[in-house]
Amino acid sequence: MSVPHPLRTPAVGLSSIARRIASGAGAYGYAQAVSIGTQLVSLPLFLHHWDMATYGAWLALTALPFYLSLADAGISTASSNQMIGLITQGQKARAAEVFQSAVAFLTSVSLLILLIVGATLLLLPTTALEVPQWKAVLMLLSISVVLGLFCSLAEVIYKATGGYAAGTYLVTTGRLVEWAGGLTGLVLTQSFIGVAASALLARLGYTLLCLWLSQRRTDFLRWGVRRASLADIKQAAAPGALFLSLSLTNALSLQGFTLLVAATLGPAATAVFNTYRTVARIVVQVTNALSNPLWPELTALKGQRDDGAFWKLYRRANRLGLAIAAAGALLVYGVSPWLLDLWTHGQIPFTATSMALFLGYAAVCSATQVPRVVLMSINRHAGLAAQSLLAAVVSLVVAWLVWGSAGMAGVVGAMLLGEALVWLTAMRAVRRLRSTKTVS
C-alpha cells in the first residue's frame, strides 16, 4: 500500500526561489517543445493517411470542443492562488477545503456540460454535417477535453505545494499521451471515430494516473467533495471570472487579427501575417518561461506577508524580463531571414520593415508579462482584465480603420498600440500597488 509523501515546505530564500524558477523554465521549455513537435509531426502523418479535405474536416471537428476547456471559468487558477497563500500560512485544512470546493465545482460543471452536449447532438439531424459518425466523434472529443480539466486540477496540487515544474511536466505529458493515442487510432483505423476513441482511451488512462500521482504528493490535499463549500466557490468566482476574461481577451486579440487580415488583405497576406507573428512571438514565449514559474513564488511570498522579498523578486524578474524582450527581439531579427527561408522553403521572403514592426509588438508584449503575473498572482487583476479587453477592441478598430491606407504595417502598428496600452495599464497598477503597501 502506497503512503502519501509528506509535503516539504519550500525554502523561501531568493537563491532557492531562483532554482525553482529555473526548474519551472525548463518545464515550460518542455511544454513548448511538445507543442511545436506535435504540430510538426501531425501534418505529414495525417496527410499520409487522409487527403487534405478529410484532414480539414477533422481540424474543424476538433476545434469545436476546444471551448469546453474554458468550462472551469478560471476557478482552478483562482483556487490555486488561494491554496498557495493558505499553505504558506500553515492553514492546510483550509487549503484542503478550497481544493475540494474546486473539485465539486468542476465535477458539477463537467457533468452539466456533457449532458448539454449530448442532448444537443441527439437533437441535431445526422445530415447536418457530411462527416461519418460526426456526433459520436464530437461526444468523444468533448469527454477528452473534460478529462483534461481534471488533469489541470491535479496540476494545482503541485503548484500549491512548490512543485510548479513537476505539475507542468505532468500536464504536458498528458497532452503528449493523448496525441500519441490519437495517432495510434489513425494508423489502425484511418477513421475519425478511431482517432477520437483512441485519444480518449489514452486520456482516460493518463487522467487516472494524474489523480493517483497527485494523491501521493501530499497527505492533506485529497480528491473528494466532502469538505466542499459553496462559500469557497463564491469566493473564487470573482477572480476566476477575471482569469477567464483574460483568456478570452487573449483569444480575441490573436484570432481577431487573423480574421481581420483574412477579411481585408486576403489569404496570401494572412499566411505572411501569421508566419511573421509566430516568428516574432518566440520572444514572448521565452519571457513566459520566466513569468509562468514566477507566479506561484510571488503568491507564496504574499501568503507569508513578506512584502520585502515579494517586491525584490519582482524588481529582479522585471529587469530580466525587459532584458529578454530587448535582446530577444534583436536576436530573432538577426536570425529571422534564415528561419523564414528554412521554415517556408523560401515561399515567404524576409522584409526588414515588417519584421521590425512585428518584433516591436512582441517586445512590448514580452515586457508586459512580469507585471501582469504580479497582479494575477495575488488576484489584483480586475483593472488589468477590463483594460486588456478595451485595448484589444481599440486595436482591432484602429486596424480596421487604417488597413486600407497603411496595409499590413498599419495592422501591426495597431497591434503594437494595443500591447502598449496593456503594458501601461499593468505598470500603473503595479506602481499603485507598491505605493499603497509602502504607505500602509
Q: Print burial letters for 409-437: b (CB count within 10 Å at least 16), e (below 16).
A: ebbbbbbbbbbbbbbebbeebbeebbeee
Per DSSP, 5 falls in state P
Give the C-alpha distances (Å, rounded to integers) separating 13 from 161, 311, 392. Answer: 16, 14, 38
With contact defined as beta carbons under 8 Å apart, do 423 and 368 qualify? yes
Closest C-alpha among 118, 119, 114, 79 to residue 95 = 79
Which class for 406: exposed (0-12), middle (13-18), buried (19 or more C-beta within 10 A)? middle
With contact defined as beta carbons under 8 Å apart, do 146 and 113 qualify? yes
pTM score, whole prediction: 0.73
With contact defined as beta carbons under 8 Å apart, do 287 and 295 qualify? no
Q: Classify the C-alpha dihedral 204-208-211-217 as positive or negative.
A: negative
pLDDT average per 10 residues of sequence, the chain (440 residues): 44 66 82 80 80 75 75 77 83 90 90 92 84 89 92 88 86 93 93 94 95 89 89 81 77 78 80 84 86 83 82 90 93 91 80 93 93 86 84 91 90 93 92 69
All three cell numbers of 59, joined, read 481540424
**Rounded Cα distance, 375 and 353, in Å:** 34
Neighbouring C-alpha atoms within 13 Å toward the C-beta of 40: 8
pLDDT at 13: 55
From the centroid of its chain, how far is CA 397? 26
Residue 153, number of CB atoms within 10 A of its CB: 24
Length of the chain equals 440
Ramachandran sector of residue 6 (left: φ over 0; alpha: ψ -120 to 50; beta: rest): beta
**Rounded Cα distance, 397 and 195, in Å:** 41
Give φ, ψ of 370 to 5 degrees: -70, -50
Q: Classify the C-alpha dihedral 245-149-140-37 as positive or negative.
A: positive
Give φ, ψ of 51 to 5 degrees: -85, 175
From the centroid of its chain, how far is CA 29? 14
Contacts of 52 (CB under 8 A, 6+ apart): none
Give the C-alpha distances (Å, rounded to integers) separating 431 from 54, 233, 286, 374, 428. Answer: 53, 30, 25, 11, 5
Give the C-alpha distances (Å, rounded to integers) separating 380 from 302, 317, 376, 377, 438. Answer: 12, 18, 6, 8, 17
With contact defined as beta carbons under 8 Å apart, do 293 and 27 qualify? yes
**Rounded Cα distance, 312 and 440, in Å:** 18
**Rounded Cα distance, 84 and 161, in Å:** 7
**Rounded Cα distance, 76 and 151, in Å:** 11
Q: Which residue has the cell 511545436?
A: 36
